[in-house]
Amino acid sequence: MTTIEGGMICTNDKKIYEISKMLRSHGMVRESKNKILESTMITKYKNLSQKFIFLYPTLNFRNNEIGATIGLNQLKNLDKNNHKRINNFLFFLKKIDSKKYFTEFDLDGSCNYAFPIILKTKNLKKRDKFEKYLQKNNIEFRRGNAGGGNQLRQPYIKKFIKIKNFSKFKNVEHVHFFGYYIGNYPDLSKEKITKITNILNNISF
């Protein structure tokens, strides 16, 4: 689904629910609708305006009417499109070479917007050859899977967490350097998936 901008969080955790409401609106305490929390923060921060106490450094992520209308309209096709994505992914896993790529994903409850590609090799030269091969065949990809790979390597987190030995996180490190994804959308045909997997399977490592 798309709503131009914005998204949705589902949780049965009351604390996460309240924090999420604050995060979508400048991090303001009053957006949590938790009167006890709000009263506690008002008492703690007596020098701040009661209606404008910001607990988290964030922005305004509340959706607008146009985006909400698009999102509500797409809900009609959500189950159908999810079913297509699930079938696409299963077909992709069936066709891809499990000797070259990781295929043992936990699919319980999964409806993936992408086809994750994790190379079994740990050779950077072979990795680079793989990327050139995809580019040559006009297959768009993202290295590190979604979000830029191992977040412990990203600049924004270094002022909060100091990690020097990344080898402690061997799985996420492998995905960081040898993991990719390509898009999985509802209208993607089996013919195209077959073409993609044939290209992936034909590369020699």
Q: How far apart are CA 5 and CA 62, in angstroms?
A: 9
Tell me if the pTM is above 0.85. Answer: no
Cβ–Cβ < 8 Å for 31, 21: yes
Domains and CATH numbers, the chain: 14-63 (no CATH), 85-202 (3.90.1150.10)
Contact yes or no for 41/53 (Cβ under 8 A): yes
Percent of the chain with pLDDT over 90: 60
| 136-176 pLDDT per residue, tens | 999 988 888 866 788 888 777 877 888 888 889 999 999 99
Chain segment 60-93, per-residue pLDDT in tens: 877 788 888 988 998 999 999 999 999 999 999 9
